[in-house]
Structure 1
Amino acid sequence: MPHIVLLLASALGLSAAQPDAVIQNIYPTTIAPGDEDFSCGPETNTTTDGGTDVHITNVSVPTLTLQQAGDSPSSTAVIVMPGGGYEILSYIKEGEAICEYLNELEIDCFLLKYRVPARPDEEGMPWSWAPLMDIQRSMGLARSNANNYKKVGAMGFSAGGHLTTHVSTTGWQERLYAPIDGSDKESARPDFSVLIYPAYLTPDGPTTTNVAEEVVPDKDTPPTFSVQTQDDGFLSALGFYVNCTSVGVPAEMHLFAEGGHGYGMCDDDSNALCEWPERLASWLQTQI
C-alpha cells in the first residue's frame, strides 16, 4: 500500500483523511476565486455502477489528494483529473483507480477534485474557467511541495482530458486568479500530458482535424500520450494529435476500433483496448 510522507503535510498544512492519502484544499478560503457570487448547493456523492464508482457534483471547495507510491517520494508525480462532462466527477473509476495504477508504476499521484458543475460564462474568461483555475493552482502546489518532484505531469479522462489539454496548451501561460502565495510563481505547464478518451477538443464534430481555440498546440506544448476509440462519439484526440505533429510536439496516439467512451482502466482481457494502461506504462518510462 502507498504511504504518505508526513513532512509534506506539515509543509503545506495538509490534513490526512486516511492512512494512505493526504487531502489539501487548494485555496486558503472556502470560497474559491471567481465564486464570490456563485452558489451550486451542497456537494453530493452518489454511488454508481454497482458500488464501483462514486459521482461527485456541486463541488465548490476543490481539493488535491496525494497518493504517494512508497515510503519515499517518487521523482515524478501526475495530477489526475476525472471526467464527467464538467457536471460531475467519476471519482473512483477515473480517479482513485488511476492513482492506484500510477502508484504501481512507482509514480506519485495527485487526484484533483475540481469545481463542477461548470460555472456561467464570465466576460474575459475562457470556457471551463473555474476548473482551469483549479488545475493551474494545483500544478503550482505540486511543484512547490516538500517532495521536490523533477517532473509533474497531467492526466485526464473525457472532460478531464479537455482540462488537461487546456492547461497544456493555452491555459498555462497566465493565471486566471490573483496570486495567492509562492506556489503561484511556479509554472502551470505540465511536463507531459496523458489524454484518455478526451472530449470537446474539436469544435466541428469527431471527424474534423480542427481543434478548439483554447486547445491549439504550439512548440511549447508538452509531450502527449492519448487513447481513443473509433466508435467514440467525441473522437477528438485524433484532431489534437494531427495538430501536435504539425508543430513538432512529440505525440503518441493509440486509436482502437471499438470501446466507446468512459471505459476507465478497462478490465476485459479479450479486448485489445484494455492494453492501453500497459502502453501508457511503456510511454511513461520515456518521460520520467
Structure 2
Amino acid sequence: MERAASNTDSGEREDAAVRDSLWDRRSVLAGAGALSFAGAVPAVAQGADVGVGAFLTMPLWPGKPPGGARVAATENRVERQPATADGNYIVEHVRQPTLTMLKPAKPNGAAVLLIPGGGYRFVSMGNEGFPVARRFAEAGYTCFILLYRLPADGWSAGADVPLQDAQRAVRTIRSLAPREGFDPQRIGVVGFSAGGHLAAWLATRDVREIAAPLDAIDRLPASVTAAAFVYPVITLRDPVAHKGSREQLLGADAAPARIAAYSLEENVMATPPPAVLVHALDDPAVPYQNSLLMAEALRARKGAVEVHLLESGGHGFGLGTTKPAVANWPELVAGFLGRHGV
C-alpha cells in the first residue's frame, strides 16, 4: 500500500508554496454556520487561524476542477428540515468540490476524512457531514468533510471523478499536516452509503491515477492508515446492489465487466488497511450483506476487519437521528481507528 515518503528540501519548499497558495483562496464560515461554496466570503489572509469550533472551507483544486469542459449542470444546494446551526442540506451537481475542516479542542494527532453519501446523485452534508465532524472533533480528530463531484454530470473522468476528488482530498490533508499539527501517517477515512463506496474505493484498491499530477500536492500519497464504512454500498451486483448508486455511477445498462470493476469486494488490494463496518440489519436501501461482502474480502486478504451489525436503524442514520440502536456507532468507529493507528 502506498505510504508517505520523505521529501527533499526543494520538494518541501514546493509543497509548502502550493499549500499556502491554496489556503490563500480558502473561505471561512461566518461563525459556525453557513458555508461559502461560491467564494462570496473574503479569502483569509495567509497564516490566519479560525480557531476551534468553526468550520473552514477551502477549494479542493486550484482554479477550476479538471475535466469540466462538457459539464453543463448548475450546482444546486437544497435545504432540508429541521434546520441546524451548521447547516442541513444536500448539494446536487457539484461544480466546485471542497474540503471543510474542523479543528478539535484537544487534538489527538490524527485526522479523518469524512465522505457523506447520497447515492452518487447528491452529497448529504447535513446528517453525514457537519454533525459527524463535531462528534469526531470531540474525540480529538482534525476533521475534513469532502464535497465531491458526481459521476453522471459529464466530467471527463466519468465514473472515476469522485475517486479523483477523494484522492486529492487525502493528498491535501497530508500536505496540511505540518501546519495543522497532526501526523501525516495518521489519516483515516469514514464514508457513508455511496460515500462508503467511495471511501472503500479509496482505501482498499491499489492507487490508480485518474490524471497527470497538476501540482506538488498531487504527487503526495493518497493512502489512508485505517478506514470505516457506515452502511456502505460495496457491490454493484444484484441482488444486493443499490441500483440507484450503480445507475448514477455506470449508467442504466452497464456491461458485466464494468459492474465487476466497480464492485469493491472483487478488487481489494493485496495489503488493505484495517477497516471497520457498521450496518443496520433493517436497512431497506443498502442491504447489510454489502458490509459482509467487504468484510469477507478483507479477511481473505488477511486485513484487520471489524463488523458491527445493528439491530435496527434503517439507512442514512448518520448523526441526524436519536434512534438508540445506532447512537454509539461513532464511539465504535473511533475505538477501532484508535487501535489501528488513527
Tell me, yes or no, whether TM beats 0.5.
yes
Question: What's 2:221 paired with?
Answer: 187
CA contact (8 A) 1:83 1:89 kept: yes
The 5-angstrom pairing of residues 170-209 of structure 1 reads 170=205, 173-206=207-240
Residue 115 of structure 1 contacts residue 130 of structure 1 at CA under 8 Å; is this kept in 2?
yes
Displacement of 1:24 in angstroms is 1.5
**Residue 247 of structure 2 aligns with which residue?**
none
2:148 and 2:162 in contact (8 A); partners too:
yes
Deviation of 1:261 (Å):
0.6
Mark the structure with the bigger radius of gyration: 2
Q: Compute the displacement of 1:35 (Å).
A: 1.5
Q: Which amino acid aligns with 1:264?
A: G
8 Å CA contact 1:119–1:130 kept in 2: the answer is no
1:133-152 matches, within 5 Å, as 133-145=164-176, 146-147=179-180, 149=183, 150-152=185-187
2:331 matched to which residue of 1? 278
Where structure 1 has 5 or more consecutive residues not aligned to the other structure, the ranges are 1-7
CA displacement at 1:273 relative to structure 2: 2.6
Q: Which AA in structure 1 matches 2:204?
A: T
SS in 2 for 1:194: strand
1:165 aligned counterpart, secondary structure = helix
Amino acid aligned to 2:96: V
Q: Whole-Å Cα distance in 1 between the matches of residues 219 and 108 of structure 2?
A: 23
Instruction: Specify the SS of the correspondent of 1:80.
Output: strand
Whether the 8 Å CA contact 1:84–1:90 is kept in 2: the answer is yes
Identify the residue that residue 293 of structure 2 maps to in structure 1: 239
> Cα distance, 1:57 vs. partner?
1.1
Question: 1:9 Cα shift?
Answer: 7.9
SS of residue matched to 1:39: coil
Q: Which amino acid aligns with 1:13?
A: W
1:18-47 Cα offsets, whole Å, 9 max, x none, are 2423222111122x2222222211x22211
Q: How does 1:213-228 map to 2 (within 5 A)?
A: 213-214=261-262, 215=264, 216-228=267-279
- 5 Å matches for 1:1-288? 10=20, 12-14=22-24, 15-18=26-29, 19=50, 20-30=54-64, 32-41=65-74, 43-52=75-84, 53-70=88-105, 74-116=108-150, 118-120=152-154, 128-145=159-176, 146-147=179-180, 149=183, 150-170=185-205, 173-206=207-240, 212-214=260-262, 215=264, 216-232=267-283, 233-234=285-286, 235=288, 236-265=290-319, 267-268=321-322, 271-287=324-340, 288=342
| Cα distance in 2, alignment partners of residues 10 and 187 from structure 1 | 19
Larger helix share, 1 or 2 = 2
Deviation at 1:212, TM superposition (A): 4.7
Aligned AA (1:68): K
Task: State the distance in 2 between where 1:114 and 1:153 align.
Answer: 17
Summarize the Cα distance change of 1:155–1:141 in structure 2 as closer, same or farther, 3 Å threshold: same
Q: Using a 3 Å threshold, how does the CA distance of structure 1 residues 61 and 266 change in structure 2: closer, same or farther? A: closer
Counterpart Cα distance in 2 of 1:254 and 1:212: 26
Normalised TM-score (structure 2): 0.72
SS at match of 1:264: coil
Displacement of 1:156:
0.8
Q: CA RMSD in A?
A: 2.4
Sort the Cα spacing of 1:9 and 1:178 in 2 relative to 1 into closer, same or farther, 3 A.
closer
Determine if contact 2:109/2:140 at 8 Å carries over to the other structure: no
Aligned counterpart, 2:36 = none
Return 5+ residue gaps in structure 2 as ranges: 1-17, 30-49, 242-258
Task: Tell me the distance in 2 between the aligned counterparts of 1:222 and 1:182.
Answer: 25
Q: Distance in 1 between matches of 2:327 and 2:127?
A: 14
